[in-house]
Amino acid sequence: MDEVVAVLYGREEPLPQRALVDALDLDRRQGKILKPLLAALCHDRILVEDDEGYAIHPEARLLEGVLSVHPRGFAFAAVAKPPEWLAIDRDLFVPASALASARHGDTVLLAVTRMGHERVEGRVVKVLVRATNRVVGTYVAGQTTGMVEPEDERLAFHILVRREASCNAKNGEAVLCEITDYHPDSRNPEGRIIEVLGDPASLQVQTDMVVRKFELPHAFADQALAQAEALDEAVVMAPGRVDLREVLHVTIDGEDARDFDDAVAVEKTRSGFRLHVSIADVSHYVIPGSPLDLDAYRRGTSVYFPTRVVPMLPERLSNNLCSLVPDQDRYAFTAILDFDREGRRRAKAFTRSIIRSQRRLTYTRVRQVLVDQDPAVRRELKPLLTPLKWMGELAAELEKQRLARGSIGFELPEAKVELAEGDRVTGITRLERNQAHKIIEEFMLAANEAVAETFAEHAMPALYRIHEQPDPIKVAEFVEFGRGMGLPLPAGSASPAWFGRVLKLVAGTPQEYIVNNLLLRTMQQARYSPDNVGHFGLAAEYYTHFTSPIRRYPDLMVHRALTRLLAAKDKTRATAAGQAPVDSLMEAGGELSKRERVAVDAEREVVDRLKVRFMADRVGEQYDGVVAGVTSFGLFIELVEIFVSGVVALTDLRDDYYQLDEKRHRLVGKRTNRIFQLGDLVRVRVASVEPARRHINFDTLRKIEPGQAARPATDNP
The residue-averaged pLDDT of 515-519 equals 84
Element (H, E) at 630: strand 622-631
Are the C-beta atoms of residues 297 and 313 closer than 8 Å to each other?
A: no
Contact (CB, 8 A) for 363 and 253: yes
Contact 627, 679 (CB under 8 A): yes
What's 133-173 look like in SS3?
CEEEEEEECCCCEEEEEECCCCCCCCEEEEHHHCCCCCCCC
The rounded distance, in Å, linking the Cα atoms of 546 and 528 is: 12
Confidence of residue 655 (pLDDT cuts 50, 70, 90): confident
pLDDT at 574: 41
* pLDDT higher than threshold 90 for residue 312: yes
Q: Say if CB 322 and CB 285 are below 8 A apart.
A: yes
Contact 419, 428 (CB under 8 A): no
Q: What per-residue confidence (pLDDT) applies to 559?
A: 97
110 or 2, greater pLDDT: 110
Handedness of CA 495, 496, 499, 500 (dihedral sign): negative
In three-state secondary structure terms, 448 is: helix
Identify whether 512 is part of a domain: yes
Range among 101-110, 208-217, 582-591, 691-700 rated most confident: 208-217
Residues 428, 329 share a domain = yes
Mean pLDDT of 46-52: 89
Q: Is residue 348 part of a domain?
A: yes
Query: Residue 456 — pLDDT band, cuts 50, 70, 90?
Result: very high
**710 has a pLDDT exceeding 70:** no
Picking from 200, 224, 250, the residue at the C-terminal end of a domain is 200
Pair 71, 49 in one domain: no
- Same domain as 166, residue 84: no
- The SS3 of residue 38 is helix
| pLDDT mean over 365-372 | 96
Count of residues making up the chain: 717
Region of poorest pLDDT, from 361-365, 596-600, 679-683: 679-683
Cα–Cα–Cα angle for 32, 38, 41, rounded to 5 degrees = 150
Distances (CA, A) of 217 to 176, 196, 197, 315, 598: 14, 17, 16, 15, 11
Q: What phi and psi, each to the nearest 5 degrees, are found at residue 258? A: -105, -15
Rounded CA separation 414/429 (Å): 8
Query: Is it the case that residue 508 has pLDDT exceeding 80?
Result: no
CA dist 463 → 261, 448, 528, 539, 590 (Å) = 20, 12, 6, 18, 11
Q: Is 712 inside any structural domain? A: no
Residues 434, 367 contacting (CB under 8 angstroms): yes
DSSP lists the bridge partners of residue 53 as: 50
The enclosing domain of 194 has a CATH number of 2.40.50.700
Q: Over 60: is that where the pLDDT of 578 sits? A: no
* 452 and 542 co-located in one domain: yes
Distance CA 338, CA 272 (A): 8
Q: Which residues pair with 424 in a beta bridge?
A: 420
Contact 275, 264 (CB under 8 A): yes
Is residue 207 one of the residues assigned to a domain? Answer: no
Other beta carbons within 10 angstroms of residue 210's beta carbon come to 24
Above 90 in pLDDT, residue 352?
yes
Answer whether residue 271 is part of any domain.
Answer: yes
Q: Tell me, what DSSP letter sits at residue 43?
A: H
- The stretch 294-306 carries a mean pLDDT of 96
> Is residue 75 located within the same domain as residue 52?
no
Tens digit of each residue's pLDDT (9 = 90 or more) over 370-411: 999 999 999 999 999 999 999 999 999 999 999 999 998 777
Q: Are 349 and 434 part of one and the same domain?
A: yes
Tell me if the pTM is above 0.75: yes
Would you say residue 613 lies in a domain?
A: no
As a whole number of angstroms, the distance between CA 12 and CA 641 comes to: 61
Per-residue pLDDT at 29: 76
Partners of residue 625 on adjacent β-strands: 639, 682
182 pLDDT band, cuts 50/70/90, is confident
Residues 35 and 91 in one domain: no
Check whether residue 331 and residue 437 sit in a common domain: yes
Banded pLDDT at 274 (limits 50, 70, 90)? very high
Question: Last residue of a domain, which of 78, 97, 129?
Answer: 129
Q: Is the model's pLDDT at 96 over the cut of 60?
A: yes
Q: Quote the pLDDT of residue 569.
A: 75
Report how far residue 401's alpha carbon sits from residue 396's, in angstroms, rounded to the nearest whole number. Answer: 9
Do 357 and 458 lie in one domain? The reply is yes
Statement: residue 330 has pLDDT above 80: yes
Predicted confidence (pLDDT) per residue in 19-33, tens digit = 888 888 888 777 778
Same domain, 382 and 323: yes
Taking 90 as the threshold, does the pLDDT of residue 155 lie above it?
Answer: no
The domain that contains 106 carries what CATH number? 2.40.50.140
Residue 471 is predicted with a pLDDT of 87
Q: 87 falls in which pLDDT band (50, 70, 90)?
A: low
Show which of 200, 220, 255 is a domain's final residue. Answer: 200
Is 456 exposed, middle or buried (CB count within 10 Å of its CB: 0-12, 13-18, 19+)? Answer: middle
Q: Total structural domains in the chain?
A: 6
Per-residue confidence (pLDDT) for residue 572, from 0 to 100: 47
If you average pLDDT over every residue of the chain, what do you get? 90
**pLDDT higher than threshold 70 for residue 178:** yes
Q: In what order do the strands lie in the sheet with 345-356?
A: 241-243, 345-356, 329-340, 272-280, 262-268, 250-253, 359-362
CB burial readout 531-548, b (16+ within 10 A) else e: ebebbbbbbbebbbbbbb
Structural domain contains residue 206 = no
345-356 and 241-243: which strand pairing?
parallel
pLDDT at residue 141 greater than cutoff 90: yes
Same domain, 512 and 531: no
125 vs 33: CA distance, rounded Å: 20
Question: CATH number, domain at 34?
Answer: 1.10.10
Task: Give 624's pLDDT tier (boundaries 50, 70, 90).
Answer: very high
Q: Name the residue among 615, 618, 635, 622 with its Cα closest to residue 678.
A: 635
pLDDT given for residue 430 in this prediction: 83
Question: 239-243, 287-291, 435-439, 502-506: which has the minimum mean pLDDT?
Answer: 502-506
Question: What is the C-alpha to C-alpha distance for residues 320 and 64, in angstroms, rounded to an integer?
Answer: 48
Nearest CA to 464 out of 532, 525, 413, 397 is that of: 532
- Regarding whether 693 and 674 lie in a shared domain, the answer is yes
Q: Let me know if residue 582 belongs to a domain.
A: yes
Range(s) of the domain holding residue 158: 134-200
Q: Tell me the pairing of strands 272-280 and 695-703.
A: unpaired
Pairing between β-strand 134-140 and β-strand 159-162 as defined by DSSP bridges: unpaired
User: 3-class secondary structure for 390-431?
Assistant: HHHHHHHHHHHHHHHCCCCCCCCCCEEEEEECCCEEEEEEEC
Confidence class for position 663, pLDDT limits 50, 70, 90: confident
